[in-house]
Amino acid sequence: MIWPLLTGALTGLGVYALIRVLMRPRPGVATLVARIDAGSRSMQTHTLSEYDASFSGMSERTRGLMTALADRLEVLAAQRGWHLHRQRADLAILNRTVGAMLATKVVAGLMLFALAPVLWAGLRLTGMDLPAGVPLVLGIGLGLFGFVLPDLSLRSEADKRRREFRRTVGIFLDLVAMNLAGGRGLPEALLAAANVSDHWSLVRIRQALANARLFGTTPWEALGDLGREIDLEELENLSGALVLAADDGAKIRQSLSARAATMRRKELARAEGEEGERSQSMLVAQLLLLMAFLIYLGYPAVMLLFTA
């Protein structure tokens, strides 16, 4: 009786969740504003590269299907008012859309869910007598794991790219200080420093500065908005320092040089800490191998003592 009850409960829960997703609640003012703000993916500007493209490793037909699913899910997310605050900054640093992440989550969950009957059939062929409710429970577990797995991968990739962006910001500050020393004004120095390379981080900074000129905002406001969008504290602090320099006439060149040196020391300390953690991990692994080897050597002698 346990397996039929559990199967019925899980089926009812799935039907209830499906109804909740398909029901159209009465939207409030905040939801309507969110729909207008996030309504169309095609109106969002992206500086995509081969690394940034969400479906770059797929065939043309598969990429088309995934893109269509991503568009549909993004529209659905905007209609439902799903803000996804936690993932927004990670998606922004990777230059990916909400629809692409949702499509990846859905496809990964369905693929692992479909894998459960195959595993169950393989185990039955080997002679294991498993109940009929095992594929459903196993499929739900694998499907949930596949649905959550893209979130973990997204967080890991975003943290890696933020570390790379921090190093670029330190170099960018030095370049701005050098341009200021050459007699350029602050906006010209920022744009010239961003045009030095076509690295993806400098491309993002250059795009933010270009958009500031088009929209009639200041470059430091654009850098602050970019820092808040990708959750990078260094860009927000740089924006505040540039605002002080523009409003109060502070000596920005020495401040930028000192800030760049501080960021380099911080990155060096972080790298040394990571190397120390790796060294400790290697030491623990060596101790575990030594203990396993000692147990392997002493096991026959101990067994002889117990059997004597």
Residue-wise pLDDT tens digits, 114-160? 888 888 778 777 777 777 677 778 888 888 898 899 988 888 899 89
Domain membership flag for residue 200: yes
Q: Mind listing the pLDDT tens digit for each residue in 82-108?
A: 777 778 888 888 888 888 888 889 889
Within-domain flag for 213: yes
Each residue of 186-210: pLDDT tens digit?
A: 888 888 988 988 888 899 999 999 9
Chain centroid offset of residue 294 CA = 43
State if pTM tops 0.95.
Answer: no
Q: Which long-range contacts (CB under 8 A, 24 or more apart) does 3-10 make?
A: 3/131, 3/132, 3/133, 4/133, 6/133, 6/137, 7/133, 7/136, 10/136, 10/137, 10/140
For residue 163, what are its two tokens? 């570390």
Report if residue 221 sits inside a domain. Answer: yes
Residue 3 included in any domain: no
Side chain identity, residue 188? E
* Locus of tokens 């109940």: 131
* Distance from C-alpha of 117 to C-alpha of 9, rounded to nearest angstrom: 19
Element (H, E) at 267: helix 252-307
Structural domain harbouring 171: 163-264
Cα–Cα distance, 193 to 187 (Å, whole number) = 10
Domain assignment present for residue 198? The answer is yes
Domains held by the chain: number: 1
- Radius of gyration from C-alpha coordinates of the chain: 27
- Top-confidence residue, 85 or 222: 222
Q: Is residue 210 part of a domain?
A: yes
Is 111 among the domain residues? no
